[in-house]
Amino acid sequence: MRTASGPAGLGGDQVEGLHAVHELLASGKRRVRVLWVAQDLAGHEPLLGTVLLARRQQVPVQLKSPEALASAARTGAPQGVVAWAQPVQAFSLAELLAAEGTGPPAFLVVLDGVTDPGNFGSLLRTAACAGATGVVIARHRSAPLTPAALKSAAGAVEKVPIAVVAGIPAALQQLAKAGVWTVGLDPAGPTDLWRTSLLDAPVALVLGSEGTGISHLARQRCDVLARIPQSRALESLNVAAAGAVACFEVARQRTAREGATSKVS
């Protein structure tokens, strides 16, 4: 439980969609108060497995008409299931950094002004799949954990801790003091991401807003500004796509480094 002085919950109490709800139950990290399931789908896969999991955990399961479910849903396609649970727990940046040295090197994804819930959810999913050790967002100018964000995240919010900070520039200073390199993604960055040698060290990828990119002060505090090479002069990738490319480049370099180390030993 968070202390009274710690970060508040992030929201995310209403969860919709097959993957998001199943991961909510499977993780066991948040108490689920009630599960609504479309009555015409509850006895069939893929919903049946989720229903049985909820009942094993003694979560109340209520069968609802498609109309009632659609009325309660806040996304366009809840896929026959809506759950209500405790809010997602927020962490401090210090708590994420405290894990450094006890597991893999820090791999943080810092979101500087990402305000679209769909992009936020997609980036959470990418971070989880690529092995990130945490995601950092600002208290203001950040997308909320809406049902749409949770559905896009497909359960990643149950796996990747999210730290809430007062401001991104100050957080980057804190990361520098902790020995974490910061790499900002910028289409005009002077460094080619493929040739960035910092990615297998403790690192934080900094991703900017959908419209204006990384804020001026945050740009100044990044150790490196890196671009993703593109073969054609088209408009740059959106933040969700750029984040996916960059996160998996971190994962690739770390895997290559581990492979080289194991051969030497």
| Residues pairing with 64 in the sheet | 38
pTM above 0.75, yes or no: yes
All residues at 6 or more sequence positions from 139 whose CB lies less than 8 Å from its CB, including other chains: 164, 165, 166
Question: Rounded to an integer, what distance in angstroms lies between the CA atom of residue 111 and that of residue 113?
Answer: 6
Per-residue confidence band for 178, with pLDDT thresholds at 50, 70 and 90: very high
All residues at 6 or more sequence positions from 206 whose CB lies less than 8 Å from its CB, including other chains: 110, 112, 168, 172, 182, 183, 184, 185, 214, 218, 222
Per-residue confidence band for 260, with pLDDT thresholds at 50, 70 and 90: low
Per-residue confidence band for 3, with pLDDT thresholds at 50, 70 and 90: very low
* pLDDT at residue 2 tops 80: no
Per residue in 51-105, pLDDT (tens digit) is 999 999 999 999 999 999 999 999 989 999 999 999 999 999 999 998 766 678 8
Domains, the chain: 14-85 (3.30.1330.30), 90-264 (3.40.1280.10)
Q: How far apart are the first and last CA of the chain?
A: 42
All residues at 6 or more sequence positions from 207 whose CB lies less than 8 Å from its CB, including other chains: 109, 110, 111, 112, 114, 123, 185, 214, 239, 242, 243, 246
Q: For 34-42, what is the mean pLDDT? A: 94
Per-residue confidence band for 4, with pLDDT thresholds at 50, 70 and 90: very low
Question: Rounded to an integer, what distance in angstroms lies between the CA atom of residue 168 and that of residue 35?
Answer: 36
Q: For 15-25, what is the mean pLDDT? A: 96
Q: For 242-260, what is the mean pLDDT? A: 87
Helix (H) or strand (E) holding 135: strand 134-138
Distance, C-alpha 206 to centroid of its chain:
13
The pLDDT, as a whole number, for residue 232 is 67
DSSP collapsed to 3 states, 92-129? CHHHHHHCCCCCCCCEEEEEECCCCHHHHHHHHHHHHH
Please give the backbone phi and psi of residue 70, each rounded to the nearest 5 degrees, phi first.
Answer: -65, -35
Per-residue confidence band for 174, with pLDDT thresholds at 50, 70 and 90: very high
Tokens matching residue 256: 């290559």
* pLDDT at residue 8 tops 70: no
Per residue in 162-172, pLDDT (tens digit) is 999 999 999 99
Per-residue confidence band for 230, with pLDDT thresholds at 50, 70 and 90: confident
For the chain, the average pLDDT equals 90
Where helices occur in the chain by DSSP H, the ranges are 18-27, 47-56, 66-72, 93-98, 117-130, 147-153, 168-177, 216-221, 239-264
Per-residue confidence band for 31, with pLDDT thresholds at 50, 70 and 90: very high
Angle between helices 47-56 and 18-27 (to 10 degrees): 30
- Residue percentage of the chain with pLDDT more than 90: 77
